[in-house]
């Protein structure tokens, strides 16, 4: 899952319970995991090549957008799941255990899944955890008691595994949405989202190429122990290890706060002058970097992150700034809903669905920046202006 950023600009609320999941998962090579948890071994699952091709295509497209060739994930346990045992007539009742609209990203994500449910003529049983992992456990219990046809979970950590098992015991298929549960969790038919490994690998490869494979770089990560932080970092670390000329001088945590990122970057500018690049997993952190280097009257190093209007606003004021962005779109939740409907229609679905998103550099800043919208808008957006105004992001 994308984890909690600062209240104004963040994505998900994350509690310490996620740390145990990450530490356990980090014992395995992240290169073996493409998109998230699945229980393919326990399912009627075939069509590996079809599933792998979909994932490969997303990786290759993302790389091509940054002028990178040959970008692809390691093959892993992906397949097409036979969902015929779940087939039933609609209209469907689908439960959605949301992390809750505690920030603008999550608010937009909830908006998209609710709209998609209406378009699919599905009844959506919605439960917000309001950023609390314990609340989410109780929410899923309550949702299951209403006997939904399917369950979509936006997991805050491994604490919900028990409830997902209960769903499996009741023959309720589960779709994991913009998050990750441990591999082999019973009942998980499909995991849908933009993978952490893609984000980390893509941005690290761009930065390495940008500095011609040599130089001193800093790494700015989010919250220690959170899945987004650790999975993306491990993927980036693997890329940089392939460039002997690149020296990672420090890794710092910004807690996905522009204020904290500005403090960290200000220290970098003093302690490590003339850095050749900064790899960060967040456009929120990048915003703080720009502010710090502008205040220090220093040249801003090439940097990476995900795509927010807040960062693009800051970048528009910075002369000569170079960056690569890979969006983590809130629109992903629509794919989660569509996948759940496909399961209930008995259609084959991939056990891992890798989501496409916008990937671009500073050369396209004018194309993506929305001057008419607030810092809380996630870029690019498929919201109409009327919808954006309704959500108060434009």
Verify that 176 and 253 share a domain, yes or no: no
Cα–chain-centroid distance for residue 163?
23
Verify that 221 and 345 share a domain, yes or no: no
Report if residue 107 sits inside a domain: yes
Tokens of 315: 């970048």
Give the pLDDT means over successive 10-residue stretches in the chain (394 positions): 40 35 30 40 70 91 93 84 95 96 90 97 96 92 98 91 95 94 90 94 97 97 82 95 97 89 92 94 90 93 94 93 95 97 97 95 97 95 96 95
Q: Are 310 and 6 in contact (CB under 8 A)?
A: no
Give every CB contact of residue 241 below 8 A, 6+ residues apart in sequence: none
Q: Which residue has the tokens 């356990």?
A: 24
What is the C-alpha separation between 275 and 354, in angstroms, rounded? 33
| Exposure string over 47-62, b if 16+ CB within 10 A, otherwise e | bbeebbebbbebbeeb
Q: What is the pLDDT of residue 139?
A: 97
Report if residue 219 sits inside a domain: yes
What is the C-alpha separation between 378 and 108, in angstroms, rounded? 8
pTM, whole model, 2 decimals?
Answer: 0.85
Strand positions, DSSP E, the chain: 45-46, 80-81, 93-98, 123-128, 150-153, 174-177, 188-193, 214-221, 245-253, 277-280, 303-305, 323-326, 349-350, 352-354, 359-361
Domain total of the chain: 2
- What is the per-residue pLDDT across 81-123, written as a single tens digit (0 to 9) for each? 999 999 999 999 999 999 999 888 899 999 999 999 999 999 9
Q: What is the pLDDT of residue 277?
A: 97
What is the C-alpha separation between 104 and 388, in angstroms, rounded? 11
Q: Is 150 exposed, middle or buried (0-12, 13-18, 19+ CB in 10 A)?
A: buried
Verify that 211 and 187 share a domain, yes or no: no
Report if residue 161 sits inside a domain: yes
Q: Which residue has the tokens 């799941």?
A: 81
User: Which range marks the domain in which residue 64 is found?
Assistant: 33-194+330-357
Report if residue 378 sits inside a domain: no
**Cis link prior to 270 (omega < 30° from 0)?**
no
What is the C-alpha separation between 387 and 30, in angstroms, rounded? 38
Tokens of 269: 């500018």
- What is the per-residue pLDDT across 369-379, written as a single tens digit (0 to 9) for each? 999 999 999 99
Verify that 317 and 202 share a domain, yes or no: yes
Q: Are 133 and 181 in contact (CB under 8 A)?
A: no
Q: What is the pLDDT of residue 284?
A: 84
Verify that 72 and 182 share a domain, yes or no: yes
Tokens of 17: 């319970």
What is the C-alpha separation between 278 and 221, in angstroms, rounded? 11
Q: What is the CATH number of the domain that holds 347?
A: 3.40.50.2300
Verify that 46 and 76 share a domain, yes or no: yes
212 phi-psi bin (left φ>0, alpha ψ -120 to 50, beta other): left
Verify that 170 and 79 share a domain, yes or no: yes
Q: Are 12 and 106 in contact (CB under 8 A)?
A: yes
Angle between helices 227-241 and 17-25 in degrees, nearest 10:
30
Q: Which residue has the tokens 């992390």?
A: 99
Report if residue 392 sits inside a domain: no
Q: What is the pLDDT of residue 172?
A: 97
Which residues share a beta bridge with 301? Answer: none
Verify that 52 and 160 share a domain, yes or no: yes
Q: Which is it for strands 150-153 and 93-98: parallel, antiparallel or unpaired?
A: parallel
Verify that 48 and 134 share a domain, yes or no: yes
Sheet with 45-46, edge to edge strand ranges: 45-46, 80-81, 349-350
């Amino acid at each position: 899952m994308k984890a909690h950023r600062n209240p104004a600009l963040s994505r998900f609320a994350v509690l310490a319970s996620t740390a145990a999941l990450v530490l356990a998962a980090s014992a395995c090579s992240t290169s073996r995991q493409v998109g998230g948890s699945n229980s393919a071994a326990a399912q009627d699952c075939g069509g590996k090549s079809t599933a792998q091709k979909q994932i490969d295509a997303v990786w290759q497209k993302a790389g091509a957008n940054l002028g990178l060739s040959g970008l692809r994930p390691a093959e892993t346990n992906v397949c097409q799941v036979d969902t015929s045992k779940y087939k039933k007539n609609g209209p469907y009742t689908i439960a959605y255990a949301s992390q809750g609209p505690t920030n603008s990203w999550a608010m937009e994500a909830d908006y998209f899944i609710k709209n998609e449910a209406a378009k699919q003529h599905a009844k959506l049983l919605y439960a917000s955890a309001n950023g609390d992992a314990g609340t989410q456990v109780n929410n899923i219990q309550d949702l299951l008691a209403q006997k939904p046809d399917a369950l979509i979970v936006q997991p805050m950590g491994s604490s919900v595994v028990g409830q997902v098992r209960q769903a499996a015991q009741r023959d309720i298929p589960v779709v994991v949405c913009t998050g990750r549960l441990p591999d082999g969790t019973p009942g998980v038919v499909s995991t849908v989202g933009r993978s952490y490994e893609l984000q980390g690998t893509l941005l690290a490869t761009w930065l390495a190429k940008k500095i011609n494979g040599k130089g001193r770089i800093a790494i700015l990560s989010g919250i220690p122990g959170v899945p987004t932080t650790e999975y993306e970092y491990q993927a980036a670390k693997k890329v940089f290890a392939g460039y002997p000329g690149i020296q990672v001088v420090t890794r710092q945590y910004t807690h996905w706060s522009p204020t904290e990122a500005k403090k960290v970057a200000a220290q970098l500018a003093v302690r490590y002058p003339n850095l050749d690049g900064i790899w960060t997993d967040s456009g929120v952190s990048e915003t703080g970097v720009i502010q710090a280097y502008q205040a220090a009257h220093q040249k801003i190093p090439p940097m990476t992150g995900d795509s927010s209007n807040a960062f693009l606003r800051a970048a528009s004021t910075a002369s000569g700034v170079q960056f690569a962005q890979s969006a983590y779109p809130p629109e992903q939740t629509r794919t989660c809903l569509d996948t759940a409907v496909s399961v209930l229609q008995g259609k084959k679905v991939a056990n891992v669905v890798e989501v496409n998103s916008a990937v671009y550099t500073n050369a396209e800043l004018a194309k993506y920046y929305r001057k008419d919208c607030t810092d809380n808008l996630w870029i690019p957006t498929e919201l109409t202006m009327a919808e954006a105004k309704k959500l108060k992001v434009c």
